[in-house]
Structure 1
Amino acid sequence: MRVAFVLGTTSGGTGRHVLMLVDGLVRRGHQVAVIGPRSVEESFSFTRAGARFAEVTVSDRPHPANDLRAVLAIRRLTRDADVVHAHGLRAGALAALAGQGRSRASRTARRRDGGRLVVTLHNALTTGGLIGVVHGVLERIVARRADHVLAVSPDLGADMIRLGARDVRAAVVPAPRPGPARRTPQEVRRELGAGERPILLTVARLAQQKGLETLLDVAAGPWASAEPLFVVAGEGPLREELRARIEREHLPVLLLGHREDVPDLLGAAVALLMPSRWEGQPLTLREALMSGKPAIASKVGGIPEILGDAGILVPYGDVEGLRAAVRELVAAPGPAERLAAAAERRGREMPGADDAVESVLAVYGSGKPEDD
C-alpha cells in the first residue's frame, strides 16, 4: 500500500505520532511518503525511518499564496497514493482541497479502494474571533470531504458528526513507555530545593491552551498545612508573563524550562497537575500513568477517558476545586496511595505503537463510505 502523510509545523506530539506510524508501516512493507515543512523532517527524521520526504509549506495560519502552492504541491505529490493521511485540521483541509477524499473518488475513474483521505484531528480551538471563523470553515471542508476522520477526543468526533462527516472513529495515540528514572526522588527534591514540601508536577508548553494562569491561582493558596511546590517543565510564549507574576506574588512555583528528565521529576512528585483548557490524548498523562503517578486534571477533551479512576477530575478553571484536590492528595498518604495504585493499573492498559499502526491499517483497508 502507498501511504502519504501530510502534516504542518509541529515540534511535539503530532510529529512523534506520525513518526511512529511511519516506522510501523515501513516495517510492514508499505511504501510511505511524508509531505510537510522542512522543519518537521529536521525534527523527526522520517527518512531515517524509511519514508520519502517532500517539502511543502503547510503553515499554521492562513496565507492565500502559500496555501495555494501547498494545495497544488499536495495534489501532485499524492497523485499515486492509495491513502492520504493528513494530521491536523489545516493539513486535512489542504489535502481535501488538493482533490483527495470523497470529492476526488466521485470525479475520477480510480478504483474504489484507492485515493481515500483520512484526517486525524489532534487539537481543538480554544480561542475565538477571526481565527475561530477560519477554523469553522476548515472543519466543514474536512467533515464533508474526508473519507474517514480520526478524533483524539469525543468532543472533536461529535463536532465532525454534527458537520456531516460520514465515518468518525477514535484515534489511537499511544505514548512511548517512559525510561527509568536516573536519580532518586530525594536527589530531585534536593535539586529543586523542595525541602519537605509535596511536589505537584506540570509538564506543558507554556501557552494559552494549558491553563497555566489557573495553576498560578491555585498556587496562591491559602494553604492550611504544608505549602506544596508547583514545578512546571516546559517552554513557550507565556514564560515571561508567568515568571513576572510568580516573582511579583512570591508564588511557590518553579519554571524549569525544557527538561529531558521527566521520569525523574515524576518520581519525586505526588501527582501530575493538568489545568488545561483542552487536551486530546496528552502523552504526558499517559506517561504519568505508566509511571504509576495519578493526576489532577481538567475535565476536558480526551482526559477523562484516559485518566479513568486514576486521578481527580475538575471542571476547567475551577480554582477552588483544583486546590481542594491538591489538598486531598497532600494532606495524608492514603488518597495518594490509592490513586497511585489505580494509576499503575491504568498504565498497564495503555495502547502501544503496534495498536496504533494496526488501528490505522484497519481504517485504510475498510470500505469507503458511499459517494454523494
Structure 2
Amino acid sequence: MTQLRTVQVLGGGSTGSSAHVRSLAAGLVARGVGVTVCAPAPLEHEYDFLGAGAHFVPVPRRGDPAAVGALRAACGGAHVVHAHGLHAAVRTALALSGQDVPLVVTWHSRAQPGGAHGQVVRLLERRVARTASVVLGTSSELVDRARGRGARDARLAPVAVPPPRHGSPESKARAELGAVERPLLTAVGRLEPGRGYGTLLDAAHEWLGLDPVPLVAIAGEGRERASLQRRIDTEGLPVRLLGRRDDVSDLLAASDLALLPSRWEARSLLAQEALRLGVPLVATRVGGNPELVGSAAEFVPYGDAAALAAAVSGLLADPDRRRRLAAAGRAHAATWPTEDETIAQILSIYDELTAPSRGGRRR
C-alpha cells in the first residue's frame, strides 16, 4: 500500500482553521501520512507547519491570480486535497479542474453578507458543495447548509484543537491590566462587524454603576479598532483594546468571566478555551454555540445590550453560580472529541476516498 499524500489548503487563515490544520498536519505526519500545507507565507511563521513535519508551500492570499497556479503545482501527486474555508475551496476546485483527485472541504464558519455580495457567496457555496467529494461542517448548522447547497456527501466534523496552555501567574496577568481588585471580563476575536463589540460597549455603560467597576479586556485586531477606541475614549468606558495577543490562555485563566457577544459562531475557540479553563462564559445563543457548550454557559440574545449587562452583573454578584458554571464547563469540555479522535475521523474519510487507488484500506 503506497503512502497516503495529502495537501491541506488555507485561505485567509482564521485562528480556528489555522490551528486545526496545524493539529491535523502533526497528527497525520505521526501516522505516516505525507502532508503539504498551502497557505499565505505569514501563517507558517505563526503556526510552524514545518515544525509539525509537513512540507509548506506559500500561496498568495485570496484574490491573487497566482494562487490557483501555485495550488495546481502543489497538488500534483496528491491522493486527496483538503481545503479549509470557502475561498480556499473555490481556488482549490479551480486548481484541481480536470484532475481526478478527491476534494474534501471543511466549512469552519459561514459568511453573512447581504445584497449582491451575498448572492455571490451563495453561488460560490453551491459550486464548492457540488464539486467536493465530501463537505465537513464543524457544526450541525453548517452541515445542513452544505446539504442545502447541493453537497452530495456532508458530514459533521467537530474539530478539536490542543487544550489551552498558560504559564503566567493569574495575578501577574491581572496586575498588568490593572484588574487586581476589580473583576476582569475578557473577549477575544477580530475587531470586525458581527463580533458584537458595539453591543459590548453598550453593556459596559451599565457596569459603570457597579462597585468595583469591572474591566473589559478585548484581545484582537481589525478594521473597527479606531471607531471602538473613539467610543471608549469619548464615553469613558472601562474597556481596553489589547490588540493581537499570544497569551490568550493566560488572559482567560485570569478572568472572572469570558464574553462571546458575536452574531454567529460555529465552534468558537474562545468558548472551548474558557470551558476547559473553568472560566464562566456568557455567550450569544447563535449558530453552533448551544450545540458546543450545552447548558455550561449563560446565554443572551445577539445585539441585546441590556440582556448582556444583566447576565454579567448577575454572575458577578453570585459567586456560587460562577463556581457551578466553571465546574459544568470543565465537565462538558471533557465530552468533546479529542485531537486523536478528530484526526482519526479525517483519516478514515481520506482512506474511504483513496484506498482503492492505493491498494487497500489503512489498518
TM-score by length of 2: 0.89
Aligned counterparts of 1:358 and 1:50: Cα–Cα separation in 2:
18
Aligned 8 A contact 1:295 1:307 in 2: no
1:347: Cα distance to partner? 2.7
Flag the 1:90–1:319 CA change in 2: closer, same or farther, 3 A.
Answer: same
Flag the 1:273–1:147 CA change in 2: closer, same or farther, 3 A.
Answer: same
What is the CA deviation profile of residues 331-350 of structure 1, one whole-angstrom value per residue up to 9, with x for unaligned ones? 22121111111012123233
Aligned to 2:153: 167
For residue 209 of structure 1, give the secondary structure of its aligned residue in structure 2: coil
Q: Which of these residues, 37, 45, 50, is aligned with residue 47 of structure 1?
A: 50
Aligned to 1:138: 124
Q: Which of these residues, 197, 219, 238, is aligned with residue 224 of structure 2?
A: 238
What is the CA deviation profile of residues 239-272 of structure 1, one whole-angstrom value per residue up to 9, with x for unaligned ones? 2211110111111212222333333322332221
Aligned to 1:349: 335
What is the 5 A alignment of 1:108-187?
A: 115-185=101-171, 187=172
Aligned counterparts of 1:267 and 1:87: Cα–Cα separation in 2:
29
Aligned 8 A contact 2:23 2:162 in 1: no
Instruction: Count how many residue pairs are aligned between Structure 1 and Structure 2.
Output: 350
Aligned to 2:360: none
Aligned to 1:97: 94
Matched, 1:70 2:70: no
Aligned to 2:197: 212
1:52: Cα distance to partner? 2.1
- 2:43 alignment partner AA: V
- 1:129 alignment partner AA: G
Aligned counterparts of 2:352 and 2:111: Cα–Cα separation in 1:
30
Aligned counterparts of 1:50 and 1:181: Cα–Cα separation in 2:
26
Flag the 1:33–1:264 CA change in 2: closer, same or farther, 3 A.
Answer: closer
For residue 113 of structure 2, give the secondary structure of its aligned residue in structure 1: coil
- 1:154 alignment partner AA: S
Aligned counterparts of 2:271 and 2:340: Cα–Cα separation in 1:
20
For residue 208 of structure 1, give the secondary structure of its aligned residue in structure 2: coil
Matched, 1:87 2:84: yes
- 1:139 alignment partner AA: E
Aligned counterparts of 1:9 and 1:229: Cα–Cα separation in 2:
32
Flag the 1:37–1:194 CA change in 2: closer, same or farther, 3 A.
Answer: closer
Identity of matched residues, %: 43
Flag the 1:161–1:38 CA change in 2: closer, same or farther, 3 A.
Answer: same
Aligned counterparts of 1:172 and 1:11: Cα–Cα separation in 2:
16
Aligned counterparts of 2:194 and 2:113: Cα–Cα separation in 1:
9
Aligned counterparts of 2:32 and 2:173: Cα–Cα separation in 1:
44
Aligned 8 A contact 1:201 1:273 in 2: yes
Q: Which deviates more, 42-51 or 280-289?
A: 42-51
1:11: Cα distance to partner? 6.0
Flag the 1:260–1:7 CA change in 2: closer, same or farther, 3 A.
Answer: closer
1:218: Cα distance to partner? 0.9
Aligned counterparts of 2:68 and 2:173: Cα–Cα separation in 1:
49
Q: Which of these residues, 241, 249, 254, is aligned with residue 240 of structure 2?
A: 254
Structure 1's unaligned 5+ residue stretches are 106-114
Matched, 1:17 2:14: no
Structure 2's unaligned 5+ residue stretches are 355-363
What is the 5 A alignment of 1:177-326?
A: 177-185=163-171, 187-194=172-179, 196-221=181-206, 225-226=210-211, 227-326=213-312
Aligned counterparts of 1:76 and 1:121: Cα–Cα separation in 2:
24
